[in-house]
A = this chain, B = another copy of it.
Amino acid sequence: MESEQFLKLDNQLCFAIYACSREITRLYRPFLDELGITYPQFLTLTVLWEHKRLTVKEIGERLFLDSGTLTPMLKRMEAMELVKRVRGTEDERKVYIALTERGEQLREDALNLPEKCIPHFGLTKDEYSGLLNQMNQMIESLQKVTR
């Protein structure tokens, strides 16, 4: 039947996406190594470059990560002096994350990172944005079920 076909590794989109995600991380790694950060740390900085100051929860909402992942990572980033962690005063449950000078400056070094990496994806501009759309659509569909 069809079931048999779907169970083959080569026919599984989920495996292709999982493998692709790891290959992209591998592509980014040498560039990120130069900056002294990991890929998830780069994503965290990316949202902070856009929003300056966010709570742990707000970062989590954007990256789809929870405090179990973020808290230890943000502590490492604080130790590297990339971010400051400040407990809220009006609501003491919240912890605000803001960039340090160093965290701000890192943006300049990261600015050309996408341009250096994206060409290796082997996609045309249209394919890139088409794929971006489809992926975001898919994420939305999936989140309706998984949340």
* A7 contact set on B, CB distance < 8 A: 46, 49, 107, 110-111, 113-114
Report the interface size for chain A: residues with CB under 8 A from the other chain.
64
A94 to B136 Cα, complex, angstroms: 42
Q: Does A122 contact B (CB under 8 A)?
A: yes
Q: Does A117 contact B (CB under 8 A)?
A: yes
Contact check: which of B17, B26, B46, B110 meets A17 at CB < 8 Å?
A: B17
- Not counting A7-B46, A16-B136, A19-B64, a sample of 6 additional A-B residue pairs whose C-beta atoms are within 8 angstroms of each other reads A3-B115, A9-B46, A13-B135, A16-B135, A17-B17, A122-B137
Q: Which residue numbers of A lie inside 8 Å of B, CB to CB?
A: 2-4, 6-9, 11-28, 39, 43, 46-47, 49-50, 62-64, 107, 110-115, 117-118, 120-123, 127-128, 131-132, 134-146
